Structure 1
Amino acid sequence: METAQAQRPTTQDSAASFTVEPQSPTIGAFIHGLDLSQTLDDATIDALRQALVQWKVIFFRDQHISTDEHIAFAQRFGELEVHPLTPADQDQPEILRIAHNKDKRGTENFWHSDVTWRPQPSLGSILRAVKLPDVGGDTLWADMEAAYQGLSDELKERLDGLQAQHSFLKGFGHLIPEEQHEGVLAKHPPQNHPVVRTHPESGHKSLYVNIAFTTHIVDMDPKESKALLKDLMRTASTPEYQVRLRWQPGTIAFWDNRSSQHYAASDYWPHTRVMDRVTVAGEKPF
């Protein structure tokens, strides 16, 4: 696949009939020329996967696909996850519906990486707009590879080999009655992952701690851990590491959960925003 450079904002992929339009120097790109309702050939899927790894999040416009087509597209990239918060009686458990309205404010307005409480956190997620407010409800992504590269050499050396613990209850405990917490922890015990993760496909390093699920750095004084995590988590808020998507009907975003974090702006209340997410299973971080 021809690499899209900042000075060449739109490039034609050599292996498949789509173009890549970067939205920043390192993160975010629109993919043009594909119809995701169709079955794409293996070469196109491989090229999309390369674009995902390079740009961390890829966007598609005018994709008015069905739920079945959404799931089928995601399955081309691997096994799909079922989120614990998906209703047990849902016909298509691969779909996680994220819906907010006047009675339920958006709560995803903080920087996070999905399901890092799993032993094998997700490869990435594919989010489809179902119903949008007239204005607002944008999503932002942060390049955590760039965030790592922006650290001092001294801090990089300090982080080498450190592990941090991630907990399901930190992010979702408020949604579950306290008397059920023990059972939830038995089913989803806290997991330790590297503070600096190596991408399994690119080999690039990225910061892998997030506000939603990371509780502390293993074997570190609690005060020191808290201060260090605060500094590391703050890096996602750096505008130079970010890209912002304004949703439109038919928009789809596919992000690499191994090298990015995201933030759903909750500025549209009391209006309605409904999104469907399908998540591709990943591997144990190293």
Structure 2
Amino acid sequence: MTLSTAAPAPVAAPRAAEPAPAPLDLEPLDLEPLGPSFGARVHGLDLARATDAQVRALRTALAEHKVLFLPGQHDLDPDSQVAFGRRFGDVTESHPVVPGVDEEHPEIYALDSAEGGFADVWHTDVTFVRRPPLGSVLRAVVLPPLGGDTQWADLQLAYESLSAPVQRLADQLTAVHDGTREFGYYLAQRQGRETTWEGERFRALVPVEHPVVRVHPETGRKGLFVNPGFTSHIAGVSDAESRYLLDLFYAHTTKPEHVVRHRWSVGDVAIWDNRSTVHYATRDYGDQRRVMHRITLRGDEPRGPVVG
């Protein structure tokens, strides 16, 4: 039997474990909160050149802060606004009734004050369809010298600051949303022409029902889901009871502590969660012109709390 006299092969030192890559979804953003629990300004982010990780971080921040403001997005134009929206979510057509800004951009809804495009009533965008938008991306194109601010109110904070008995009542209610109150004029002017929303041809606006309290599909938080722009009444109660209840919800929602206000500069972009906010475009600029371009992101059917 022959024994080997060779020295044993050296054992390699264990390699230091390489640090795990940071999750892309958690890429930090420079966020400046605008209140204790609602609204944030995003600094140093160019939407036209944002990385995928930055877009995902914005998407996460939106559910938490509900409305995000990104100043100085001067490189965005109609093409790149739509392109950013497609990275952020599924972009819808401009509006169920109103066509897009032009044939090349059917996704962009132009709010031009010279053509009656203003929204000086508290509302949540397009709640009069079965699947209201997840959110909206609004870009300031032309602004008056002064005025034209937009305000947002936090529907989740509004619900959470109601008394417990009123919360329990709201949890059980259903509201009717009707687009003809604001957009019946456009229907009358279409002369038989049709528009498309999420692949469905809109010949008329049929009222739909949504729960008065909506459970956010991402965070699970409850929020009021009624607005003066499109909610016509609460189902299953008398007209007087409906008016009193809606007046209560509206007055409570728009208390100053539930509201943030943005003073626009050309190139600013606001992104808001349509499932947890209402907004109001201040119409205080007389005959000066104000033009905003908005795209909306496909949402889901609102779900209410389980009441047992």
Q: Which runs of 5+ in 1 are unaligned?
A: 1-12
What is the letter of the counterpart of residue 55 of structure 1? H
Return the index of the structure with the highest Cα Rg: 2
- TM-score, length basis structure 2: 0.82
Aligned with 2:113 (options 100, 107, 112): 100
Partner of 1:4: none
- Within-5 A mapping of 1:261-280: 261-280=278-297
How big is the shift at 1:106? Answer: 5.7
When residues 29 and 91 of structure 1 are mapped into structure 2, their CA distance, relative to the original with a 3 A threshold, is same
How big is the shift at 1:16? Answer: 2.1
How big is the shift at 1:95? Answer: 0.3
Partner of 2:156: 145
What is the letter of the counterpart of residue 243 of structure 1? V
| Number of equivalenced pairs | 270
Aligned with 1:68 (options 76, 79, 83): 79
Q: Specify the SS of the correspondent of 1:234.
A: helix
Q: Specify the SS of the correspondent of 1:44.
A: helix
Quick one: distance in 2 between partners of 1:14 and 1:256? 18
How big is the shift at 1:230? Answer: 1.3
The two structures, once aligned, show a CA RMSD in angstroms of: 2.3
- TM-score, length basis structure 1: 0.88
Quick one: distance in 2 between partners of 1:100 and 1:89? 17
When residues 88 and 138 of structure 1 are mapped into structure 2, their CA distance, relative to the original with a 3 A threshold, is closer
CA contact (8 A) 1:17 1:34 kept: no
Partner of 2:5: none
State the Cα deviation string for residues 173-216 of structure 1 (Å, max 9, x = none): 244439989x9986432111000000000100000000011111
- Within-5 A mapping of 1:1-286: 15-41=26-52, 43-64=53-74, 65-82=76-93, 83=95, 84-87=97-100, 90-101=103-114, 104=115, 107-177=118-188, 187-286=204-303
Q: Specify the SS of the correspondent of 1:45.
A: helix
When residues 49 and 87 of structure 1 are mapped into structure 2, their CA distance, relative to the original with a 3 A threshold, is closer
Quick one: distance in 2 between partners of 1:25 and 1:92? 38
How big is the shift at 1:105? Answer: 5.4
How big is the shift at 1:165? Answer: 0.6
How big is the shift at 1:88? Answer: 8.9
Q: Specify the SS of the correspondent of 2:233.
A: strand
Quick one: distance in 1 between partners of 2:77 and 2:189? 38
